[in-house]
Amino acid sequence: MAGLHFVVFAMLMLVHVAQTIQVPNTLLFSRLAPVLQTFMAMRPKVTIKVTSGLSFEHSRALADGFLDAALLREPLKAAQPPDLCPSQLVWIGLPGFDVEKIEVLPLAHISGHCVYFREASALLDEAGIPWRSVYDCNTLEGIRTAVRSGLAIAAIPEEDCPEESLKLCHPRLPKLPIVHGRFKTAQNEPPVIVRQLLTTLRDALQPEGLAS
């Protein structure tokens, strides 16, 4: 059976099964791992591989035929109901970081086409607030480390900020959007096994009581 490819979100991870998926963060993957194991146990001929990457990269991989499906993380549009795992983006910075006095705001962000950085920088531009990129890396932990050092501020999902003291609320900083997950398939009519896996994953990601 050919491999399946999924991208479960926008930040870091993918799955292969005689199919493939992408998963964004440790918390999400911890929720999906037992579901994937059960799915494969019930279908011995199905293999699932998990990988890590950005939504932009996986969108391109879908278009190029390297993935069968993806759950991409993207900003919630006005009046649009959230689909899967909605999360508020928040500004984080070292307590005492002087947002008011620092004219050009230093930003830390994930390398490449990161949706969090894209949204944050675009909103700063719209507000006429100068900024510069001072640090980029491939993990959220790296971003948090840069922020804890006082080197920069950053925009990340609220649940990925374990320290309440790092959250920045300042009138100079524009309000950030909510991001959510949305499944996308490479084919308009994907194979049955792909649809079955997507339904299983969607149920696992829904709040309790909302699963189909």
- What DSSP element (H or E) covers 50? strand 48-51
Helices 26-41, 192-205: axis angle to 10 degrees equals 130
The model carries a pTM of: 0.75
Spatial distance between the Cα atoms of 34 and 142, rounded to a whole number of angstroms: 27
Strand order in the sheet with 4-6: 4-6, 15-22, 48-51
Token digits of residue 51: 């990988």
Architecture of domain 4-75+179-205: 3-Layer(aba) Sandwich (3.40)
The residue type of 167 is K
Per-residue confidence band for 168, with pLDDT thresholds at 50, 70 and 90: very high
Best CATH choice for the domain 85-176 from the list 3.20.20.70, 3.40.190.10, 3.20.20.10, 3.40.50.2000:
3.40.190.10
Give Cβ neighbours of residue 119 (< 8 Å, ≥ 6 apart): 75, 89, 155, 176, 177, 179
Q: What residue spans define the domains of the chain?
A: 4-75+179-205, 85-176
Per-residue confidence band for 133, with pLDDT thresholds at 50, 70 and 90: very high
| Average pLDDT over every residue of 83-90 | 88
How much is the pLDDT for 28? Answer: 61
Token digits of residue 153: 């501020």
Max avg pLDDT among 21-25, 33-37, 184-188: 33-37
Token digits of residue 166: 């790092």
How much is the pLDDT for 167? Answer: 96
Task: Decide if 4-75+179-205 and 85-176 have a common fold.
Answer: yes
**CB count, 10 Å around CB of 91?**
23
Strand pairing class (15-22; 48-51):
parallel
